[in-house]
Amino acid sequence: MTSPSPVGPVSTSSVLDLAPVVPVVVVEDASDAVPLARALVAGGLPAIEVTLRTPAGLDAIRAIAGAVPDAVVGAGTVVTPEQVTAAVRAGARFLVSPGWTDALLTAMQASGVPFLPGVSTTSEVVALLERGVREMKFFPAQAAGGTAYLKSLAGPLPRARFCPTGGIGPDNAPEYLSLPNVGCVGGTWMLPADAIAARDWGRVEALARSAAALR
């Protein structure tokens, strides 16, 4: 797999296709962002979703964007138009939301970067297709029906393509990745809390490499 270019736009489809797994990163200390991102990229996971769940999120995105050119860093847990603006200014190259509203979708469409709005129902998928959005986050994947639900969507809604996230780990990720309407999955299992606390970036890299080999 070649590393993504650090310059130029990234299409939503290419974000889905960069690697089988998108790490969902919750950064408590922004100083961890760069070594963590380097470990993930070295392990073969260049698309990195840094969530905005913590005060360090935007600073982490800014640091990765500036210091890890082979990473395609995105912002996750985007829930307001204001966060869309702040994330893009910080250097986010894609956006991920757990759900969507008309106002949030409008802001993401105007942002100039790819985005994955979250869905968990058929009606939400149809509404996004109606607005020209084909790539989506399926969340919370396991709680919302898992692979059985996604299989059911493939027939009537073949244009929709998903990044399932929520309750996915190395044991069930291959089943998701085998589905024709799944481009990649999101997960955190390559980022165990004890490894982050110990700043054991070698362990993170090894787990990332295993995740990258899932497909």
> Per residue in 167-201, pLDDT tens?
999 999 999 999 999 999 999 999 999 999 999 99
pLDDT at residue 8, as a whole number: 47
Residue written as token pair 């929709």: 160
pLDDT at residue 215, as a whole number: 80
**Taking a C-beta distance cutoff of 8 angstroms, is the pair 118, 143 a contact?**
no
2 has a pLDDT exceeding 60:
no
| Banded model confidence at residue 11, pLDDT cuts 50, 70, 90 | low
In whole angstroms, give the CA distance from residue 180 to residue 150: 9
Given strand 95-96, what is the order of strands in its sheet?
115-116, 95-96, 72-76, 47-51, 21-25, 185-187
pLDDT at residue 200, as a whole number: 98
- Positions annotated as catalytic residues are 49, 137
Given strand 161-164, what is the order of strands in its sheet?
118-119, 135-138, 161-164
The string of pLDDT tens digits covering residues 132-173 is 999 999 999 999 999 999 999 999 999 999 999 999 999 999
124 has a pLDDT exceeding 90:
yes
